[in-house]
């Protein structure tokens, strides 16, 4: 910074000094020419006036005065030409004064060469005025120096300010990392460097999983502190030749040189490992994972834009594969990216076109074998694709926040259908409806549920809202408050996918819940898998100790059902009983249930 200031000073001095030197030479030449002409004219008579032989010292003094005044005019002219430091009116007055002094000084010089009483008197008057020009010019030059220094200081301040603004432009203000602008410039330069070294360059696109949910739930302050914590943790494990950039939001880029691709994959997996430990933010224990997309120079692109785009696509593939993993770019991803954009476009129109359907899967009491509930599951009947898998469109709906209107529509539709079955004389069983993380954090959730209950006329005790375990642990106090308001409406609440999150038993006993649902991943391999069997057994025992109902999901075999029955699991659902059915088919199950009961 100091070197830049010195260079700037040298340039500004050059702008002034060179013209000033030329102006001085020109001024001296003009005065010398006038004196030479006057000396040549002494042998003649002008206007009938007698010529005299002036003192050489006087002539030299007059020439110096004229030269000083002309030099002052040159200096001010140079200053005013480059910098607008005084008003134009003041500038005109200075020029007028200098012009008068210059005219009087030239007049006094000329009159020195003539002899007469009148001329001598006029010459003395002019001489006095001209003599005054010396201190006036010196003072003016002093002012010139002051003004010049003021301008120079202003230029230095402006330069410092421009550097400050430039640093703000290329640096992320929250984390201090270089941002997208600097990434684009530096990656282009880095590509030229590694090309000479004949090395590979890995571009890692990092995106924090479920950061928006944490940000929306706990507030932007906690979100900002979490981002800073993530950056600090990543910087602790970065190598000297690596650079980390923040693109915005929860997206980061890491650029690193590698000898071979296995080194880059190892590096990416190491970053995932370092993100496993929780972050302590304002008394909140937050778990955050990362999805990483990886592209290679020169295999996946030879310019900055292509490498960035391909790493971005690979990152989305990591999201699609369950998050918290690394995916390398493959050419087939371009096709998937186009399909994804089209799917998102269709998803936005699906609600308007009424393409969604609600299917129902029965929930069975293990002891009696009776149907005591059903889970409402959304399905998408695409006009061209047919039935779109929920595993494909639900994550996309959550990512685009379309899950909120979709979830509200499912809740209303399921309540209307359940009330219709109740009124038709079918068994009064409850309906379980899933709440997404985005829905649960909506400030208007309770009022919307109340409105749906009132408008559909369904009795609240037949409505069970299912929320996932991870939702409750993001902000426990807020979760307890929201669940208490919902149960205050008379509905029930279940914890879905239990065992896959980070629940603390001390929190779990505080939740106003009625049911735990054992995730199907723990049911699928029982009783063969001893670990899954142990987890399922522990969850059932724990739930009973807390006076909670237990439902096992994904039951497909009699062997699984017998295992759950022996451990006193209350209910089950899964393909062993029935797959999810559209309303008209599910109504047949209700009819059979009614016939069994009667």
- What does each of the 598 residues of the chain score in pLDDT, given as a tens digit? 445 455 555 545 555 667 777 777 887 888 788 777 777 666 665 555 667 677 777 777 777 777 777 777 777 776 666 555 566 776 777 777 777 777 777 777 777 777 767 777 777 777 666 566 667 666 666 666 676 677 677 767 767 766 666 666 778 888 989 888 888 888 888 888 888 877 789 999 999 988 887 887 788 888 999 999 999 999 998 888 888 999 888 999 999 988 888 888 889 999 999 998 889 888 888 888 999 999 999 888 888 889 998 999 899 888 878 789 999 988 777 667 777 778 888 888 888 888 999 999 999 999 999 999 999 999 999 988 899 888 888 888 888 888 999 999 999 999 999 999 999 999 999 999 999 888 888 889 999 999 999 999 999 999 999 988 777 666 777 888 899 999 999 999 998 877 555 455 656 778 889 999 988 888 888 888 888 888 889 889 988 888 999 999 999 999 999 999 999 999 999 999 999 999 999 999 999 998 888 7
Pairwise CA distance, residues 188 & 308, whole Å: 11
What SS3 state is found at 87?
Answer: coil
Phi, psi dihedral angles at 246 (to 5 degrees): -105, 120
Do the bridges between strand 571-572 and strand 549-552 make them parallel or antiparallel, or are there none, so unpaired? parallel
What SS3 state is found at 420?
Answer: helix
End-to-end CA distance of the chain: 90
142-154 burial code (b ≥16 CB/10 A, e <16): eebeebbeebbee
Spatial CA neighbour of 503 closest among 543, 545, 548, 470: 470
On whether the CB atoms of residues 522 and 532 are closer than 8 A, the answer is yes
| Rg for the chain, CA atoms, rounded | 43
Angle at 116 between CA 112 and CA 121, to 5 degrees: 70
On whether the CB atoms of residues 544 and 507 are closer than 8 A, the answer is no
On whether the CB atoms of residues 395 and 388 are closer than 8 A, the answer is no
Residue with tokens 């050059």: 14
pLDDT given for residue 502 in this prediction: 47
**Eight-class DSSP state of 278:** P
Give CA 259 to chain center in angstroms: 32
Please state, in angstroms and as integers, the Cα–Cα distance from residue 519 to each residue in 512, 526, 553, following that order.
20, 12, 6
pLDDT given for residue 185 in this prediction: 84
Instruction: Classify the C-alpha dihedral 435-436-440-442 as positive or negative.
Output: negative
For residues 485, 487, 489, 493, the Cα torsion angle rounded to the nearest 10 degrees is: 120
Helices (H), 171-219: 180-197, 211-218
On whether the CB atoms of residues 590 and 421 are closer than 8 A, the answer is yes
pLDDT given for residue 326 in this prediction: 93
pLDDT given for residue 579 in this prediction: 93
On whether the CB atoms of residues 283 and 475 are closer than 8 A, the answer is no
pLDDT given for residue 307 in this prediction: 92
Structure tokens at 519: 């995730």
The tens digit of pLDDT for each residue in 535-568 reads: 889 889 988 888 999 999 999 999 999 999 999 9
Spatial CA neighbour of 133 closest among 37, 35, 62, 51: 62
pLDDT given for residue 96 in this prediction: 77
Please state, in angstroms and as integers, the Cα–Cα distance from residue 257 to each residue in 233, 296, 305, 311, 410, following that order.
20, 10, 18, 15, 49
Which residues, including other chains, have CB under 8 Å from residue 207's CB and lie 6 or more apart?
A: 250, 251, 252, 290, 291, 292, 293, 315, 319
CATH architecture classification, 342-597: Alpha-Beta Barrel (3.20)
What SS3 state is found at 359?
Answer: strand
Which residues, including other chains, have CB under 8 Å from residue 505's CB and lie 6 or more apart?
A: 542
Phi, psi dihedral angles at 568 (to 5 degrees): 65, 35
The tens digit of pLDDT for each residue in 139-149 reads: 666 666 676 67
**Eight-class DSSP state of 50:** P
CATH 3.20.20.450 occupies which residues in the chain? 342-597
**Eight-class DSSP state of 51:** B
Phi, psi dihedral angles at 251 (to 5 degrees): -110, 135
CATH architecture classification, 180-330: 2-Layer Sandwich (3.30)
pLDDT given for residue 92 in this prediction: 76
Pairwise CA distance, residues 134 & 69, whole Å: 8
Which residues, including other chains, have CB under 8 Å from residue 526's CB and lie 6 or more apart?
A: 532, 533, 536, 560, 563
What SS3 state is found at 120?
Answer: helix
pLDDT given for residue 437 in this prediction: 83
Spatial CA neighbour of 347 closest among 394, 300, 277: 394
The reply to whether the predicted model has a pTM over 0.75 is no
Spatial CA neighbour of 373 closest among 553, 558, 557, 565: 553
Q: Which residues pair with 285 in a beta bridge?
A: 280
pLDDT given for residue 148 in this prediction: 64
On whether the CB atoms of residues 365 and 565 are closer than 8 A, the answer is no
Q: Which residues pair with 464 in a beta bridge?
A: 432, 492
């Amino acid at each position: 910074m100091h070197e830049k200031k010195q260079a700037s000073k040298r340039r500004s001095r050059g702008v002034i000094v060179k013209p000033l030197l030329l102006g001085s030479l020109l001024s001296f030449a003009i005065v010398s020419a006038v004196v030479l002409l006057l000396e040549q004219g002494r042998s003649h008579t002008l206007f009938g006036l007698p010529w005299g032989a002036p003192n050489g010292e006087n002539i030299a003094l007059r020439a110096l005065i004229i030269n000083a005044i002309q030099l002052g005019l040159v200096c001010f002219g140079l200053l005013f030409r480059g910098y607008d430091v005084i008003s134009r009116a003041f500038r005109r007055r200075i020029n007028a004064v200098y012009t008068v002094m210059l005219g009087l000084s030239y007049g006094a010089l000329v009159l020195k060469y003539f002899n007469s009483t009148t001329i001598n008197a006029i010459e003395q008057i002019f001489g006095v005025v001209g003599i005054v020009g010396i201190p006036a010019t010196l003072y003016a030059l002093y002012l010139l120096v002051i003004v010049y220094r003021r301008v120079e200081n202003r230029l230095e301040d402006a330069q410092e300010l421009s550097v400050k603004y430039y640093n703000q432009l290329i640096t992320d203000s929250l984390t201090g990392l270089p941002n997208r602008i600097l990434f684009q410039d530096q990656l282009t330069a880095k590509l030229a460097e590694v090309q000479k070294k004949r090395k590979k360059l890995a571009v890692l696109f990092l995106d924090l999983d479920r950061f928006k949910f944490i940000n929306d739930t706990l507030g932007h302050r906690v979100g900002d502190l979490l981002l800073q914590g993530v950056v600090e943790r990543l910087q602790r494990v970065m190598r000297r030749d690596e650079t980390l950039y923040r693109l915005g939001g929860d997206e980061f880029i890491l650029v690193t040189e590698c000898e071979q691709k296995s080194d880059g994959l190892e590096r990416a997996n190491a970053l995932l490992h370092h993100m496993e430990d929780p972050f302590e933010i304002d008394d909140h224990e937050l778990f955050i994972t990362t999805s990483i997309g990886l592209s290679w120079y020169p295999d996946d692109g030879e310019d900055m834009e292509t490498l960035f785009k391909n790493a971005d696509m690979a990152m989305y593939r990591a999201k699609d594969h369950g998050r918290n993993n690394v995916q390398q770019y493959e050419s087939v991803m371009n096709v998937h990216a186009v399909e994804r954009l089209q799917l998102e476009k269709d998803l936005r129109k699906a609600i308007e076109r009424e393409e969604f359907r609600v299917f129902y899967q029965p929930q069975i009491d293990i002891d009696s074998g009776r149907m005591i509930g059903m889970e409402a599951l959304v399905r998408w009947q695409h006009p061209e694709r047919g039935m779109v898998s929920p595993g494909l469109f639900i994550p996309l709906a959550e990512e685009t926040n379309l899950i909120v209107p979709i979830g509200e529509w499912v809740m209303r539709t399921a309540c209307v259908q359940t009330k219709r079955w109740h009124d038709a004389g079918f068994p009064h069983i409850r309906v379980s409806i899933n709440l997404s993380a985005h829905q649960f954090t909506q400030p208007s959730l309770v009022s919307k549920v109340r409105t749906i209950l009132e408008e559909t006329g369904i009795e609240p005790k037949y409505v069970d809202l299912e929320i996932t375990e991870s939702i409750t642990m993001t902000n426990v106090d807020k979760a307890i408050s929201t669940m208490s308001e919902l149960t205050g409406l008379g509905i029930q609440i279940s914890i879905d996918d239990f065992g896959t999150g980070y629940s603390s038993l001390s929190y779990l006993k505080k939740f106003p819940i009625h049911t735990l649902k054992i995730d199907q991943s723990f049911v699928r391999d029982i009783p063969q898998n001893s670990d899954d069997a142990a987890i399922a057994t522990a969850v059932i025992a724990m739930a009973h100790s807390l006076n909670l109902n237990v439902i096992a999901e994904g039951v497909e075999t009699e062997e699984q059902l017998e295992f759950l029955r022996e451990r006193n699991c209350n209910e089950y659902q899964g393909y062993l009983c029935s797959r999810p059915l559209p309303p008209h088919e599910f109504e047949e199950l209700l009819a059979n249930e009614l016939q069994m009961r009667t």
